Structure 1
Amino acid sequence: MKQLISIIVLFLIVTTSFAQKDTLQDQAIVYKFDIKREIGSTSWIYAQFAFEEANKVNADVILLHLNTYGGQVVFADSIRTKILNSKIPVHVFIDNNAASAGALISIACDSIYMRPGANIGAATVVNQSGEKMPDKYQSYMRSTIRATAEAHGKDTIINGTDTAYVWKRDPHIAEAMVDESIYIEGIIDTGKILTFTTLEAIENGFCEGKAESINEVIEKLGYREYQIITYKPTFYDGLKGFLTNPILHGILILVIIGGLYFELQSPGIGFPLLASAIAAILYFAPLYIDGLAANWEIILFVIGIVLIALEIFVIPGFGIAGISGIILVFTGLTLSLVDNVVFDFSNVPTNELFMSLIIVSAGTFLAFIVAIPLSQKLFTSGPLAKVALLISQDMDLGYIGVDTEPKHLIGAVGLAQTTLRPSGKVLINDETYDAVAEIGMVDKGEKIKVIRYASGQLYVVKNR
């Protein structure tokens, strides 16, 4: 009897364990991260870390909680590409706004859910002042958002014996969010940029449904038992995002070039060179940690600086060393911004390479535009005017680094203390001086006469 009871208890324990294990396995892992700010370098850094962590925890789904008016297209495109290439399904909950770059990111997701009253669209490329950018930028954005919509493919619709294939996200409608010249009957007239409300987005295939909260979205995705893991950015994540901002890169390049220029204008001051060194560290450090800046790219930059210094301080004129130095500095700064393997750019998107060239070129150009007039102002009438030596030190005004007393001995007579061949010692008025025989050699003990004084030296002849 006791044995039977023991067997029953053991059976119940094992059954309970398997039941608990199955329950845990049935619980889905939803990995959530937020984009609730202007899309930029920080958003891109957050997205990279979030996707990496989602893969580590074997998440079943990634849920993007989005509310943004847009941002920089280059980073939105990077996030879009990350979403399209993700092995884990990515869904988005638009909490209020998905404008411009936010619309591009949303369309990349596997499904879109929107809060009532939210909107999606208005993806025209604009500058910092809100003015529309030239058509070459719009063309790139039109192509990108169209390709993003096409990436979701077509749905098969069977109506009796007829079969139709309909885009899940209509690329033409997506393009209308960028181009005001597009006309789609019943949706948008020419001269207007398309923006959908929640209901309009649902009607036109750009939203899977309404939702009031994250939990409601998860339930609409079909998950009943789930665990939400939320990405929480660290201080380092935010700092890295700040330091990899293209605008900051341009400013750092300006400080690097400008600091070197200031130091060359007045060698020895120190702090322009220090500012340049700090800017170089802030420029390369996050890129090196992120794996973009390789050792050889940083070495190219350093060699370039050395060559420029040699050209200025050692080699007269401006030739091969100076030109080579400029090329190496520019190359090191540019290649550090892209994920190339030595000179293999096959995996580097064209827009990223183009952007890095623009950043370095703009920073260098602004450095010279700002540094040249600023240095003239600072070193002539500004606070550094007393630091830099801007006047000549005339000997007649007493500016000389040697004793000028022997100058008054011109015309004086004395004796050669040593043989002058042609230099030696002479005795004048019981004082010993260094002297040079102007003509021939003067023997020891002969009478001499001082005829001139130059460069801290007495010149004498035999006094007959």
Structure 2
Amino acid sequence: MNKHSFKYWRKVMRRAQDEKARAIIFDIDTPGGYAGETADLITRVMPDLTIPSIAFVNPEATSAGSMIAFGCDKIYMHPRGTIGSTGIVSGSGGTIDPVMRSKIESLFSSYVKIVAKEKGRNAEVMKAMMFREQEYEFAEGEVKVPKGELLNLVADEAVLEHEGKPLLADGICDDLAAVLAAEGMEGVEAVRAEPRGFDAFASWVGFVSPMLISVGLLALFMEFKTPGVGIFGLVALVAFALFFVGNNLDGNVSGSWLFVLFIAGGILVILEFWVIPGTFVAGTVGVVMMGVALVLAMVDVDMLDSFKDTQYGLISFSALVGYPIIYMTIGLAVAVLGSILTMRYMPSLPMYSSLSVSKTLPPGTGEENCNSELVGKQGIAVTQLRPAGRVKIGDSVYEVTSQHGFVEPNTAVQVVSADGMRILVDLVG
């Protein structure tokens, strides 16, 4: 199970609810998934369903899969099915800090109690699957879990009687048709929910978001390096449009206001490069705005609601923005690497060669000495220099750049250097 699966499931469950389906059946075959998203699903989304929810373990429901089955109204096992081993592990494969592990397990212990009470299940069964601190015994000793191990039930064990009711599962079924028959729904049409159209597009965009970020940023870099071409700017616009639209359809925070924030940040970066170079304020603010817009656009709306829910406190801030930041970091790293390679090999590219002049000009025929006669001359600032602006020297007005930042109008300045690219001035005296 991946993060996009959870988003699609939530959407399907709400649609089934709205269309008054007879039931929702989870055909489960998974080694696990994400704890936070699973907790959100079984404590916030599934309890709101007014139609029956049924889990068919076919054949594996390990870790997060067992939690989803536990949160359903009914559970059926495939004859070769297994369910359990729900211990919480680090998504990166590393060791969880002991204090953090205690906090997480305490929270999930609460979730188990909530779900067990609502679904009429034995909370000790789920705890035995999740925690190893004590030994457990069920079904008059037929199922034993030694201390230090996690409970994992096969089909025959899951249906054993315990305290007057099935230990966990309501029955054993060979296939989905048998599940329907067991629930008195023979002949009912079963619609398999699979992402198509916009749903498939949204899932695809959510999956390739890092690549869209890297393509967009690299295209922007190419546009700055080859101004006037326009093709790279168009590529960047398409990449980021797909990113924001796709993430919006994928159930993330992404919306028009974030796209506007991103564009505004891009405009500030352009101003920094071409209008007010050297201040770094506009560029820095612009980069921050663009980064914030990209990260927030990938935040799951439902996860955000869980984060703001003070009753359960299901989602931590790191869980909320962790993957968006990781995706953003990957996209940025690939874009930086692509920019370095582009700088290294761009002169040999056909497009770049057609835009550049490879012929060497003889000394004295270029603009290397353009305006060199102005060096040492004084003038008066006609406009503010921030640091760029205009200065009147003699009878002519020149575009100049201040050597030391902001200069007020009508201030006397002196030319300290001049070449074909810019005229640099400093305060007189």
TM-score normalised according to structure 1 size:
0.63
Structure 1 contact 114–209 (Cα < 8 Å) conserved: yes
The aligned counterpart of 1:400 is 366
How many Å apart are 1:69 and its aligned residue? Answer: 2.2
Question: Quick check: 1:171 aligned with 2:171?
Answer: no
- Aligned partners of 2:236, 2:193: CA distance in 1, in Å? 34
- Aligned partners of 2:5, 2:103: CA distance in 1, in Å? 21
How many Å apart are 1:150 and its aligned residue? Answer: 1.7
> Quick one: which amino acid aligns to residue 366 of structure 2?
I
How many Å apart are 1:92 and its aligned residue? Answer: 0.9
Question: Quick check: 1:44 aligned with 2:10?
Answer: no
- Aligned partners of 2:215, 2:316: CA distance in 1, in Å? 23
From 46, 56, 70, the counterpart of 1:83: 46
Pair 1:224–1:309, CA change in 2 (3 A): closer
- Aligned partners of 1:71, 1:360: CA distance in 2, in Å? 17
The aligned counterpart of 1:184 is 136
From 192, 196, 201, the counterpart of 2:153: 196
The aligned counterpart of 1:406 is none
The aligned counterpart of 1:284 is 244
For residues 218-264 of structure 1, give each alpha carbon's deviation from its aligned partner in whole angstroms, at most 9, with x where no partner exists: 3433x26662341343521322222223xx22333333334333433
Equivalent residues in 2 for 1:22-421 (5 A)? 39-80=1-42, 81-125=44-88, 131=93, 134-135=96-97, 142-143=105-106, 145-154=108-117, 168-185=120-137, 187-203=144-160, 205-221=167-183, 223=184, 227-233=188-194, 235-236=196-197, 237-245=199-207, 248-268=208-228, 270=230, 272-289=232-249, 290=251, 292-336=253-297, 337-339=299-301, 346=308, 351=315, 354-355=318-319, 357-381=321-345, 384=348, 387=352, 396-397=362-363, 400=366
Structure 2 contact 295–328 (Cα < 8 Å) conserved: no
Structure 2 contact 180–186 (Cα < 8 Å) conserved: no
How many Å apart are 1:132 and its aligned residue? Answer: 5.2
> Quick one: which amino acid aligns to residue 199 of structure 1?
D
How many Å apart are 1:303 and its aligned residue? Answer: 0.5
Tell me which stretches of 4 or more aligned residues in structure 1 moved more than 6 Å: 342-345, 388-394
For residues 9-34 of structure 1, give each alpha carbon's deviation from its aligned partner in whole angstroms, at most 9, with x where no partner exists: xxxxxxxxxxxxxxxxxxxxxxxxxx
Pair 1:422–1:390, CA change in 2 (3 A): closer
For residues 279-300 of structure 1, give each alpha carbon's deviation from its aligned partner in whole angstroms, at most 9, with x where no partner exists: 2122111233457323222211
How many Å apart are 1:195 and its aligned residue? Answer: 1.7
- Aligned partners of 2:244, 2:201: CA distance in 1, in Å? 14
**Which stretches in structure 2 are left out of the alignment for 5+ residues?**
138-142, 369-393, 397-418, 421-429
- SS of the residue aligned with 2:146? coil
- Aligned partners of 2:57, 2:271: CA distance in 1, in Å? 57
How many Å apart are 1:374 and its aligned residue? Answer: 3.9
Q: How many residues align?
A: 354
How many Å apart are 1:275 and its aligned residue? Answer: 3.7
Structure 2 contact 245–255 (Cα < 8 Å) conserved: no
- Aligned partners of 1:114, 1:97: CA distance in 2, in Å? 9
How many Å apart are 1:119 and its aligned residue? Answer: 0.5
Query: Which shifted more, 362-371 or 187-196?
Result: 362-371
- Aligned partners of 1:276, 1:261: CA distance in 2, in Å? 9
- SS of the residue aligned with 1:351? coil
> Quick one: which amino acid aligns to residue 83 of structure 2?
I
How many Å apart are 1:208 and its aligned residue? Answer: 2.0
How many Å apart are 1:128 and its aligned residue? Answer: 7.4
How many Å apart are 1:170 and its aligned residue? Answer: 3.7
- SS of the residue aligned with 1:263? helix
> Quick one: which amino acid aligns to residue 257 of structure 1?
L
The aligned counterpart of 1:418 is none
How many Å apart are 1:89 and its aligned residue? Answer: 2.0
- Aligned partners of 1:208, 1:265: CA distance in 2, in Å? 66
Pair 1:218–1:368, CA change in 2 (3 A): closer
For residues 28-49 of structure 1, give each alpha carbon's deviation from its aligned partner in whole angstroms, at most 9, with x where no partner exists: xxxxxxxxxxx22443344234
How many Å apart are 1:269 and its aligned residue? Answer: 5.6
- Aligned partners of 1:361, 1:93: CA distance in 2, in Å? 35
Pair 1:181–1:111, CA change in 2 (3 A): same
The aligned counterpart of 2:385 is none
For residues 38-95 of structure 1, give each alpha carbon's deviation from its aligned partner in whole angstroms, at most 9, with x where no partner exists: x224433442343234224323432222222223445434543422321212111112
Query: Which shifted more, 233-242 or 309-318?
Result: 233-242
- Aligned partners of 2:294, 2:60: CA distance in 1, in Å? 37
- Aligned partners of 1:40, 1:344: CA distance in 2, in Å? 18
Structure 1 contact 42–238 (Cα < 8 Å) conserved: no
How many Å apart are 1:97 and its aligned residue? Answer: 0.7
Equivalent residues in 2 for 1:426-441 (5 A)? none
- SS of the residue aligned with 1:117? coil
- Aligned partners of 2:307, 2:150: CA distance in 1, in Å? 36
- SS of the residue aligned with 1:151? helix
Pair 1:244–1:76, CA change in 2 (3 A): farther
Pair 1:66–1:168, CA change in 2 (3 A): same
> Quick one: which amino acid aligns to residue 62 of structure 2?
A
Structure 1 contact 330–360 (Cα < 8 Å) conserved: no
Pair 1:118–1:137, CA change in 2 (3 A): farther
- Aligned partners of 2:17, 2:305: CA distance in 1, in Å? 31
Structure whose CA Rg is larger: 1
Query: Which shifted more, 393-402 or 351-360?
Result: 393-402
